[in-house]
Structure 1
Amino acid sequence: MNQAILWHPPASRPPTVEHRKTLNITLWLVAIGLFMQTLDTTIVNTALPAMAASLGESPLRMQSVVISYALTMAVLIPASGWVADRFGTRKVYFSAIVLFTLGSVLCAVSQNLSQLVASRVVQGAGGAMLMPVGRLVILRSFPQERLLPALSFVAIPAMVGPMIGPVLGGWLSEQFSWHWVFLINIPVGLAGAIATRTFMIDKREKQPASFDGVGYGLLAFGMAAISLSLDGFSGRATGHATVVLMLVFGLISIVTYWLRAGRQAAPLFSPTLFHIHTFTIGLLGNLFARLGSSGMPFLLPLLLQVSLGYSPTHSGLMMLPVAAAGMLSKRLATSLITRYGYRHVLVVNTVLVGLTIVSFSLVDVSHPVWTQVLLMAFFGAVNSLQFTAMNTLTLKDLGQQGASSGNSILSMMQMLAISLSVTVAGGILAAFSHLVDHGAPEDALAAFHATFICIGLLTAASAWIFWQLSPDVPRESKKDDSLDLG
């Protein structure tokens, strides 16, 4: 049996008033948990310069704060379904909120960058369980006729969190201090933990499937080693020989997992999923297209504050057009795919995303703000369309048997892509900063411009992956937006 989340909608029966109340509270708890988790993927970005100043670090070398959170989530997501089956959804969700809140406290009291990175790992460990376990609670608790509205409801905070995160992070760090970026999680986390313990529906498997611990260890080590080795190339204290060895062992670990999984009766993720052409192309496209675009939420606030002189609040407000245009453009995805097909939409749009990223290399202090707003909005629109089309392509042909496992792989790959993207963007920025840094603001701006060109071209080149799709790939999209993972 595959170890990803398996679910069967409960039989439809008239709920009692008490049961309906419990369902509604559970729905709100999951929505709040998703909001906390998605908020913390973006709220930190606009506060990074303030953190750097407080901790005595360069703002251009703060990527490890973002990488540690995303990488921890990528590593732990594959185990979330089995953990929930083994210990029960209520206990695991409660523990996730407590761990996330504890991580927030540790982040707020960190005295140096190493402590902050370690605390973000703790926070990411809690966040890794919030999203998949919360979704699992809904899938196993709500009757079929209420399932779609329930999923649509919890999708709203998952979209709102990343939109207000940059503004809130900038405002808190400017008006108070960067510590409040993490301290605001404490009251919400405490209230959520108490409510979860009291009200949340508890679901668990009487006989949970066996867990492929060896396979999980190989996959987790491989992802962590590859990401950390790439970060090591950006000029950390780790010697290059150690970094190369880490990269080699990471690749060996991934290959070993793949070869071993094909011989296992119950692997962590079945290799047969990759026999589905659209799934394989969608997953590879998700990884490589995001290598460039997922680094932009990290780069843009730094560009605005470090090189253009914006305040933290102003830089956060400048990110609003990205999120707003992204939400609006999602509505165009279905009609465009239906009319032109996945291949044409993804090839053209991937190139557009890449060229838009490259165009940020033209931004400087002489350009009026409205041109920057338009560029931000256009990037948000094409990037959101890209994510929606890629996610739909990846999951569309899996069927009921493979949907759960495929969704888990996609969630893991998305968080891994964020980690790798920030690693690559931060490494390129650090390299160019070292080459041109003479202490003047225009030197930092030149480093940003060169970085945008590099990651933009990398994104555009990934269009080749989507070119491998057959032109006759079915165009209809039956996937609901509520299931879109962003």
Structure 2
Amino acid sequence: MPSDISLGASAGSHTPSFRFTALIVASALFMEQLDSTVLATALPTMSRSFGVSPLDMSIALTGYLLSLAVFIPASGWFADRFGARNVFCTAIATFMVGSLLCAQAPTLTFLVLARILQGMGGAMMVPVARLIILKTVPRADFVNAMAWLLVPALIGPILGPMVGGLIVTYLDWRWIFYVNIPLGIVGIALASQFIVNAREEKTEPFDFAGLVLSGVSLGSLMFAFETSGRGEASPAVAASLFGAGIISGALYIRHARRHAAPILDLSLMRIQTFRLSVIGGGFARISAGAMPFLLPMMMQLGFGFSALHSGLVTFIAAVGSMAMKAAATPILRRFGFRNTLIWNSIIASGFLALYAAFRPEWPLFLIYALLLVGGFFQSLQFTAYNTIAYADVERRRMSAATSFYTTLQQMMLSLGICVSAGALHASIMIEGRTSATLADFSVAFLTVTSISILAAIVCLRFPKGAGDDMAGRTAAPAETGH
């Protein structure tokens, strides 16, 4: 088994096998992404098993993403303190236990609690994987490294809808979670053998108070969005949740200003490229979070497709995402981050608007083509955001930056489910219907499109040469030892 090394002592060193390391780490991300997309396809079938509305099943997705948002802030500290490999393997094991409990869930409430446990494992897997890359790869290789990291993770969304359709058509939906067990065992074996237990020489005391305050704030706000979006919370309950979220958030801000090493370092928002990536990427990720919820449900409830048929249709968007990975570096090198993000935001939002017009009488090849190209542009957008965010962050602050960025990323993905479910519910109620129609799904798609287009306005504020060295447009600056 590889011995421990100190990242603090070798921050500027280059790891020759970073592609191999990235692929091993990303195998666990494949498991997580497969789980999420399989579940999205199976929600209508699962709702019948639990005797609830398909719209109510959105809480199974939101509960998981909420758990990520609450526990991700601690990931950077744990990786620095106990070593990336140890934390990563423990995270996979936690995810496996949560999967077993999900498979045994007798009620929707039990399922949501088990999904929260899964989220605790996922909260450590995602940012630690990115942190290893950011701390060991030279700046000029960041775009390529991110692409290598995301390739196996993107295979999950490609296979997920088809696997989900096959499982709910020919097996029991509980096999959605059983398939994680062999994947997790392989992931732990590979990580234990090949991943270096990279850690920092010195860590600050853990910010327990900050974790509690940030967790209460994020948890209250997300549950307020989720329950009010589905119309299940009374105005008084929703207002109480919002109030608790805002008050605890304000207390956290006050706490963070006085703490030497807060769990979420708000001072990172003073860095222009990081701040703009957080804000612009947040608008874009709302639409990304809505897609796995809206598209399979529209295909099944609006088009009358089976779970398998809807999976075969919607997987094509992830194929477009895969195709983008080979094109990301040449595009960013040719046009730069600023121009790419501005125009790509407009194009990706345009495809979202087109999805609102999907109807059963459309030729399937046209739907395939639009999903394929739309997936390409949406994936290019996130590769660019995930890279430019760290353009001006010192290496010594990478752990804090990764925890902060990934927390907000997951919060926006969760908010995307809430916004789309809320728009769908509102359209149904306004029209006085008891179930969703294609017109209601169109309203939901156009709602998230109107949010997504705001990212283009934010990206106008990026400096013209931002991240040029990361895209290979200029020579990378010498390492400063930070």
- TM-score for both structures, normalised by structure 2: 0.85
- The answer to whether structure 1 residue 323 and structure 2 residue 318 are counterparts is yes
Distance in 1, matches of 2:460 and 2:178, equals 46
Distance in 2, matches of 1:192 and 1:335, equals 31
- The answer to whether structure 1 residue 478 and structure 2 residue 470 are counterparts is yes
Distance in 1, matches of 2:334 and 2:255, equals 42
- Alignment equivalent of 1:210, drawn from 193, 205, 210: 205
Distance in 1, matches of 2:162 and 2:260, equals 48
Task: Report the CA distance shift for 1:159/1:477 in structure 2 as closer, same or farther (over 3 A).
Answer: farther
Task: Report the CA distance shift for 1:61/1:415 in structure 2 as closer, same or farther (over 3 A).
Answer: same
- Alignment equivalent of 2:438, drawn from 442, 445, 457: 445
Distance in 2, matches of 1:364 and 1:263, equals 55
Tell me which amino acid in the other structure corresponds to 1:458.
I
Q: How far did residue 419 of structure 1 move? A: 0.7
Kindly indicate whether the alpha-carbon contact (under 8 Å) linking 1:222 and 1:250 is maintained by their aligned counterparts in 2.
yes
SS in structure 2 of the partner of residue 362 of structure 1: coil
Q: How far did residue 92 of structure 1 move? A: 3.2
SS in structure 1 of the partner of residue 453 of structure 2: helix
SS in structure 1 of the partner of residue 167 of structure 2: helix
Q: How far did residue 194 of structure 1 move? A: 6.4
Tell me which amino acid in the other structure corresponds to 2:164.
G
- Alignment equivalent of 1:273, drawn from 226, 250, 268: 268
Q: How far did residue 203 of structure 1 move? A: 5.1
Distance in 2, matches of 1:241 and 1:122, equals 29
Distance in 2, matches of 1:14 and 1:388, equals 21
- Alignment equivalent of 2:371, drawn from 373, 376, 393: 376
Kindly indicate whether the alpha-carbon contact (under 8 Å) linking 2:229 and 2:421 is maintained by their aligned counterparts in 1.
yes
Distance in 2, matches of 1:251 and 1:398, equals 28
- The answer to whether structure 1 residue 47 and structure 2 residue 39 are counterparts is no
Name 1:299's counterpart in structure 2: 294
Name 1:185's counterpart in structure 2: 180
**Greater alpha carbon shift after TM alignment, 425-434 vs 396-405:** 396-405
Task: Give me the CA root mean square deviation.
Answer: 3.4
**C-alpha offsets along residues 438-461 of structure 1, whole Å, 9 cap, x if unaligned?**
467xx5211101111111112113
Kindly indicate whether the alpha-carbon contact (under 8 Å) linking 1:7 and 1:139 is maintained by their aligned counterparts in 2.
no
Task: Report the CA distance shift for 1:9/1:152 in structure 2 as closer, same or farther (over 3 A).
Answer: farther
Name 1:246's counterpart in structure 2: 241
Distance in 1, matches of 2:79 and 2:194, equals 17
**C-alpha offsets along residues 358-416 of structure 1, whole Å, 9 cap, x if unaligned?**
22221111111111111111211221122122223322222423333223322222211
- TM-score for both structures, normalised by structure 1: 0.85
Distance in 1, matches of 2:378 and 2:225, equals 24
Kindly indicate whether the alpha-carbon contact (under 8 Å) linking 1:288 and 1:459 is maintained by their aligned counterparts in 2.
yes
Tell me which amino acid in the other structure corresponds to 2:87.
V
Name 1:483's counterpart in structure 2: none
Q: How far did residue 66 of structure 1 move? A: 0.9
Q: How far did residue 325 of structure 1 move? A: 1.5
Q: How far did residue 26 of structure 1 move? A: 7.8
Name 2:151's counterpart in structure 1: 156
Q: How far did residue 117 of structure 1 move? A: 0.9
Distance in 2, matches of 1:458 and 1:31, equals 30
Alignment of 1:73-92 (within 5 A): 73-92=68-87
Name 1:37's counterpart in structure 2: 32
Name 1:102's counterpart in structure 2: 97
Kindly indicate whether the alpha-carbon contact (under 8 Å) linking 1:350 and 1:459 is maintained by their aligned counterparts in 2.
yes
- Alignment equivalent of 1:93, drawn from 81, 88, 95: 88
**Contiguous gaps of at least 5 residues in structure 1:** 481-486
SS in structure 2 of the partner of residue 40 of structure 1: helix
Distance in 2, matches of 1:183 and 1:108, equals 7
Kindly indicate whether the alpha-carbon contact (under 8 Å) linking 2:7 and 2:135 is maintained by their aligned counterparts in 1.
no
**Greater alpha carbon shift after TM alignment, 207-216 vs 226-235:** 207-216
Q: How far did residue 141 of structure 1 move? A: 9.4
Q: How far did residue 335 of structure 1 move? A: 4.1
Q: How far did residue 152 of structure 1 move? A: 6.6
Name 1:466's counterpart in structure 2: 459
Give aligned-pair identity as a percent: 33
SS in structure 1 of the partner of residue 268 of structure 2: helix
SS in structure 2 of the partner of residue 397 of structure 1: coil
Distance in 1, matches of 2:368 and 2:85, equals 43
Q: How far did residue 333 of structure 1 move? A: 3.9
Task: Report the CA distance shift for 1:26/1:353 in structure 2 as closer, same or farther (over 3 A).
Answer: closer
Tell me which amino acid in the other structure corresponds to 2:466.
P
Task: Report the CA distance shift for 1:437/1:479 in structure 2 as closer, same or farther (over 3 A).
Answer: farther
SS in structure 2 of the partner of residue 257 of structure 1: helix
Distance in 2, matches of 1:309 and 1:337, equals 41
Name 1:456's counterpart in structure 2: 449
Tell me which amino acid in the other structure corresponds to 1:232.
T
Kindly indicate whether the alpha-carbon contact (under 8 Å) linking 2:332 and 2:471 is maintained by their aligned counterparts in 1.
no
Q: How far did residue 122 of structure 1 move? A: 0.9
Tell me which amino acid in the other structure corresponds to 2:419.
V
**Greater alpha carbon shift after TM alignment, 283-292 vs 93-102:** 93-102
